[in-house]
């Protein structure tokens, strides 16, 4: 089928030969494309919008033929959330809580700990009403309930958010897993020690606690001293070792104490060389071995991960390491391996491999996912391939039978091997009745949810099947046969009807109506012609309206469109004729036409015709903008000046003044002949008509004369003021404070803002407003005191003022309104040592406001936010990189900014740097550190000699600007510098004004970094440690660990 534009063109091709009054029903049906052939299935890739009879590709493909029931719903099978038989229950990862989930699974599989927790007294759970949800409070209550759910829940995984919330953990921040293990065990031990049942008070010690002692032997006298200690886990250094035996051996290795580290011997009563070692006395039933993979790197100042391969056995004989040899065996079996995936200490993922105490099967616990290992063997799997991206990784060593090797294992859990027994009661832990009641309650809720989801799936399927039958029935009836009654249905509605994901609403045809209440010709492309029988069924089932049948074809709209299209075709001929007529010499009477209108009349005519073409639209009466033809003719260019036709909306509006009369600007209008005006008036019947004898607007003429008079007065005023203040205007012979003039003891002060505005008026009196008020209140505080001292004026505050000679001040007083005279006096006094000079101001300095202003200024330098500082990179010999040369890519407008004066704000009410005093004068806001500078435009900074200079910072090569805040730490700044210069924080040496910045925890404000500061960066040679670089990128804020959580609240 032809494209849509071709179909539209073909629908109106007949207008070239048919006048509006000769239109027949055949022409109307052609315009509405009633008789276009319908498309067959497979003939169109997508629906033909220009053909109202094309019913292919509107969404029917999804309903024709056999359909899978799953296509009728988007609800997952609730049984996918159900726990499989003979499997364990997973734990939901709440964001970054995988480290918590791994330990919970390990502790759950410690049968003795689980059994003991079930025995803890819990009156709240025992007395709980099952009609409401159970909410544990204490840590014991949370663990009891969580372990009971892990044991007997019907769910595939459960949510540990109750426990995590009770501990106060941040679910979005990954923490140190080993530290969490220690703190949680300490918290649990403290909680259980308060139980009334004596057998529960020492559960943690009985299961996890062993004993060793630090034994120190004096080399001088041989005296031995032992310091006994308990341990809950052995922290083993893995750096430089290959297997677990080497790590334990080093842990117990003898250490020499000499030099500054000598030992104070009680017998010798002096510091002596000595040896120290750890002696193991007893081991717990559950032996936790922490492999110290996460260590503090002194060079980088951050933690890093050691990706070292460590071999460990499935059976570990600890007897050789015990100080006192025992008769009974001390063999441990591996029961859990905790894994950290990833190369960085600040990111990655935690999983646990745990051995089932009942079946000896190994399982991998990965949050919600649980995988059973094949053949009752530990298989670390892909966890050992995660760190392959780290450079210089050693190959995985071969492991003998009964051994495993890992570079990601960070904790090993061994259980004391027990003698084989036929009694299985030791491996069975029953859930107490009061907890099982709560589990049953949760299981009941889960089953209800499963039923509800299943019902929703069934309802969706039933609804889909019914819709399937409806579509198959109605789609066959949709096509309208030739000569039979028909209706128009919106295409969008049909598509939504066939789209099962959206609810089908009633049929709405209101936006398709023309002003005559019938179907607009333009809306045919957005509707489909269907049979009367199909339309009746759709309206019966879904309702809506108004219904559009064969009688809804609008003859009036077709006639109007015919007239407009014919005028469009005539427009080109009329345009050529008008162009020729305008060039002829006018004889006799004429009509005034705007030159801009005459230049763009064809474009305006097209716009007018488009408006006429669409004026019958129901709710969208805007025009289509410019027509398809643009005025590229230059026939008028020799006699008509260029205008701004883009803003033209109606013909002749360019010669209509604001009062509705003829414009007084004769250069903007042209006389045309009555013949030309008649042709133009045919296209613009609403245009204003001005005959040759039409008088220009009298109000405009009066205003023009007044404007000329005012300009003359302004010129005279400017010339008079310039003649009286010539030196001030030309900045010649200006007084300075650094070298006080000899012939006067007083100078007067006015704001530089006043002088700059006055000079603007003198230069362009007709374009600028005359200055009437000096505005000295800008330089005074709210109490009327002067804001500057003589010394501050010498040291830079002169950028805000202008100095006047007494004679100039007299002229100023005559010509302008002076709200408050300000002067500075030089008083010379005779002293024994000679002459002394004293400077005073009138009004006097207000010390209170001056000190407040200085204090606020200093405070703002320390308490800034979103300020700019500059980081300048230096090379080895400490010289700046090409210091003398500014950056080539700096703003090219700097020179212009130095030459040009920005227009200062005059409206004090709108300027945030001004406040309005009671007498209406503008005063400085001393509460704003920028107020003094802002009172006079900052760009007009003058030296004492009166030469204006730019205060803009010039960036040099090797220098970059950063946005910082005063409360930001140096560590955070180093992270910004790392991203800007690709220099790691540990390779950065920063200094400001020769002072090194070394305290990473200090704030920039406390280090003396103020806005516009320049910090020098010297970069050390980079260290080829990719994991450390990754760690540096991960660190954004100082580590707070578990500060503020419930783990430190006991």
- What residues are labeled active site? 98, 349
Place of tokens 């501050």: 792
Instruction: Answer for the pair 529, 486: CB distance below 8 angstroms, yes or no.
Output: yes
Tokens 């239109």 appear where?
A: 23
Closest-CA residue to 718 (of 680, 761, 657): 761
- Separation between Cα atoms, residue 34 and residue 7, nearest integer Å: 12
Number of neighbouring beta carbons within 10 Å of residue 224: 11
Q: Tokens 């591996």 appear where?
A: 334
**Tokens, residue 812:** 């100023």
What distance in Å separates the CA atoms of residue 14 and residue 19, rounded to the nearest whole number? 10
Asked if 655 and 690 touch (Cβ cutoff 8 Å), the reply is yes
Exposure b/e, 396-427, CB count within 10 A at least 16 = b: eeeeeeeebbbbbbbbbbbbbeeeeeeeeeee
C-alpha R_g of the chain: 46
Q: Are 469 and 508 in contact (CB under 8 A)?
A: no
String of b and e for 879-906 (b: at least 16 CB within 10 Å)?
A: ebeeeeeeeeeeeeeeeeeeeeeeebee
CA distances to 823, 989, 993 from 872, in Å: 44, 12, 12
User: 239: closest CA among 321, 172, 295, 180?
Assistant: 295
Helix (H, G, I), strand (E, B) or coil at 896: helix
Burial of 791 (0-12, 13-18, 19+ CB in 10 A): exposed
CA distance 581 to 782: 73
- Which element (helix H / strand E) includes 376? none
Q: Is 924 exposed, middle or buried (0-12, 13-18, 19+ CB in 10 A)?
A: buried
Taking residue 303's Cβ as centre, other Cβ atoms within 10 Å add up to 19
* Residues 6+ positions from 535 with CB-CB distance below 8 Å: 486, 487, 489, 547, 549
Residues 6+ apart with CB under 8 A from 300: 984, 985, 986, 1023, 1025, 1028, 1031, 1032
DSSP assignment of 102-149, as one string? HHHHHHHT-HHHHHHHHTS--HHHHT--TTS-----SHHHHHHHHHHH
Of 914, 901, 907, residue with least CA distance to 942: 901
Query: Residue 37: left if φ>0, alpha if ψ -120 to 50, beta else—which one?
Result: beta
Examine residue 546 and say whether the peptide bond preceding it is cis (omega within 30 degrees of 0).
Answer: yes
Instruction: Measure the CA–CA gap between 803 and 752, rounded to whole angstroms.
Output: 9
The whole-angstrom separation of Cα 28 and Cα 12 is 10
The DSSP element (H or E) to which 534 belongs, if any, is helix 532-542
| Angle, helix 177-192 to helix 139-152, in steps of 10 degrees | 110
Parallel, antiparallel, or unpaired: how do β-strands 867-874 and 1014-1019 relate?
Answer: parallel
């Amino acid at each position: 089928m032809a494209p849509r534009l071709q179909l539209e063109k073909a629908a109106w091709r007949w207008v070239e030969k048919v006048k509006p009054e000769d239109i027949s029903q055949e022409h109307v049906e052609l315009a509405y494309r009633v008789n276009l052939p319908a498309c067959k299935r497979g003939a169109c890739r997508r629906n033909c919008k220009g053909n109202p009879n094309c019913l292919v590709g509107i969404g029917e493909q999804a309903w024709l033929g056999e359909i899978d029931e799953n296509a009728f719903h988007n609800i997952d099978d609730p049984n996918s959330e159900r726990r499989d038989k003979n499997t364990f229950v997973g734990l939901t990862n709440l964001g970054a809580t995988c480290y918590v989930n791994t330990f919970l699974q390990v502790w759950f599989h410690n049968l003795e700990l689980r059994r003991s927790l079930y025995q803890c007294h819990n009156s709240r759970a025992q007395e709980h009403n099952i009609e409401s949800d159970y909410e544990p409070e204490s840590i014991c209550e949370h663990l009891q309930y969580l372990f009971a759910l892990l044991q007997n829940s019907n769910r595939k995984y459960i949510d540990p958010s109750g426990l995590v919330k009770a501990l106060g953990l941040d679910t979005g921040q990954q923490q140190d897993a080993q530290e969490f293990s220690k703190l949680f065990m300490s918290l649990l031990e403290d909680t259980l020690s308060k139980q009334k049942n004596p057998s529960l008070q020492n559960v943690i010690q009985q299961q996890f606690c062993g004993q060793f002692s630090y034994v120190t032997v004096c080399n001088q006298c041989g005296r031995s001293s032992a310091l006994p200690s308990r341990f809950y886990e052995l922290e083993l250094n893995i750096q430089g070792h290959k297997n677990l035996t080497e790590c334990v051996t080093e842990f117990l290795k003898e250490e020499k104490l000499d030099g500054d580290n000598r030992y104070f011997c009680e017998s010798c009563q002096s510091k002596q060389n000595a040896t120290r070692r750890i002696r193991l006395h007893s081991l717990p039933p559950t032996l936790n071995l922490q492999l110290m993979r996460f260590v503090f790197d002194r060079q980088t100042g951050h933690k890093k991960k050691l990706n070292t391969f460590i071999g460990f056995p499935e059976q570990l004989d600890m007897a050789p390491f015990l100080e006192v040899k025992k008769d009974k065996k001390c063999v441990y079996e591996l029961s859990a391996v905790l894994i950290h995936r990833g190369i960085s200490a600040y990111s990655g993922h935690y999983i646990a491999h745990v051995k089932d105490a009942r079946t000896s099967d190994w399982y991998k616990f990965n949050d919600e996912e649980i995988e059973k290992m094949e053949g009752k063997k530990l298989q670390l799997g892909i966890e050992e391939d995660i760190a392959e991206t780290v450079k210089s990784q050693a190959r995985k060593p071969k492991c003998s039978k009964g051994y495993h090797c890992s570079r990601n294992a960070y904790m090993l859990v061994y259980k004391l091997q027990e003698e084989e027994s036929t009694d299985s009661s030791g491996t069975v832990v029953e859930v107490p009745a009061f907890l099982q009641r709560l589990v049953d309650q949760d299981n009941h809720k889960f089953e209800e949810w499963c039923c509800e989801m299943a019902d929703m799936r069934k309802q969706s399927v039933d609804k889909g099947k019914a819709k399937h039958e409806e579509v198959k029935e109605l789609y066959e009836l949709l096509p309208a046969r030739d000569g039979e009654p028909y209706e128009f249905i919106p295409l969008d509605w049909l598509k939504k009807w066939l789209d099962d994901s959206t609810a089908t609403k009633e049929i709405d045809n209101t936006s398709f109506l023309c002003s005559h209440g019938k179907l607009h010709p333009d809306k045919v492309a957005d509707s489909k012609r269907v049979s009367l029988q199909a339309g009746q069924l759709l309206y019966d089932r879904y309702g809506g309206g108004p219904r559009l049948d064969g009688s809804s074809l609008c003859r009036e709209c077709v006639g109007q469109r015919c007239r407009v299209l014919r005028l469009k075709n005539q427009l080109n001929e009329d345009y050529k004729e008008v162009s020729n007529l305008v060039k002829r010499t006018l004889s006799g009477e004429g009509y005034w036409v705007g030159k801009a209108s005459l230049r763009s009349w064809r474009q305006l005519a097209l716009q007018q015709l488009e408006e006429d073409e669409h004026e019958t639209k129901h709710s969208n009466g805007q025009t289509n903008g410019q027509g398809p033809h643009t005025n590229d003719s230059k026939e008028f260019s020799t006699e008509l000046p260029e205008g701004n036709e883009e803003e033209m909306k109606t013909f002749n509006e360019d010669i209509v003044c604001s009062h509705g009369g003829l414009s007084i600007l004769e250069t903007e209008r042209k006389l045309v002949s009555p013949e030309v005006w008649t042709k133009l008036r045919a296209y613009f019947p609403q245009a204003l008509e001005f005959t040759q004898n039409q008088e220009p607007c009298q109000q405009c003429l009066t205003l023009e004369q007044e404007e000329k008079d005012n300009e003359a007065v302004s010129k005279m005023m400017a010339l008079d003021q310039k003649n009286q203040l010539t030196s001030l205007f030309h900045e010649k012979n200006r007084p300075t404070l650094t070298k006080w003039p000899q012939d006067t003891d007083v100078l007067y002060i006015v704001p530089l803002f006043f002088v700059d505005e006055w000079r603007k008026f003198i230069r362009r009196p007709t374009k600028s407003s005359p200055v009437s008020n000096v505005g000295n209140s800008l330089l005074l505080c709210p109490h009327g005191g002067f804001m500057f001292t003589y010394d501050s004026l010498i040291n830079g505050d002169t950028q805000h003022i202008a100095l006047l000679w007494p004679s100039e001040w007299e002229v100023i007083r005559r010509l302008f309104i002076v709200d408050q005279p300000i002067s500075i006096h030089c008083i010379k006094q005779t002293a024994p040592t000679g002459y002394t000079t004293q400077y005073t101001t009138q009004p006097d300095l207000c010390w209170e406001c001056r000190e407040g202003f200085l204090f606020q200024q200093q405070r703002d330098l320390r308490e800034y936010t979103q300020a700019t500082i500059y980081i300048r990179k230096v090379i080895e010999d400490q010289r700046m990189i090409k210091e003398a040369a500014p950056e080539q890519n700096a703003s090219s407008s700097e020179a212009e900014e130095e030459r040009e004066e920005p227009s200062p704000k005059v409206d004090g009410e709108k300027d945030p740097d001004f406040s309005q005093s009671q007498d209406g004068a503008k005063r400085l806001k001393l509460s704003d550190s920028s107020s003094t500078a802002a009172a006079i435009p900052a760009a007009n900074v003058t030296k004492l000699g009166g030469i204006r200079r730019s205060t803009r910072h010039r960036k040099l090569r090797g220098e970059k600007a950063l946005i910082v805040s005063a409360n930001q730490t140096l560590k955070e700044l180093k992270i910004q510098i790392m991203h800007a210069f690709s220099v790691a924080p540990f390779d950065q040496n920063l200094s400001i004004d020769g002072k090194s910045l070394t305290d990473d925890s200090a704030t920039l404000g406390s280090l003396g970094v103020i806005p516009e500061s320049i910090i020098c960066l010297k970069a050390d040679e980079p260290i080829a440690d990719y994991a450390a670089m990754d760690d540096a990128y991960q660190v954004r804020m100082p580590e707070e660990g578990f500060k503020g959580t419930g783990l430190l609240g006991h």
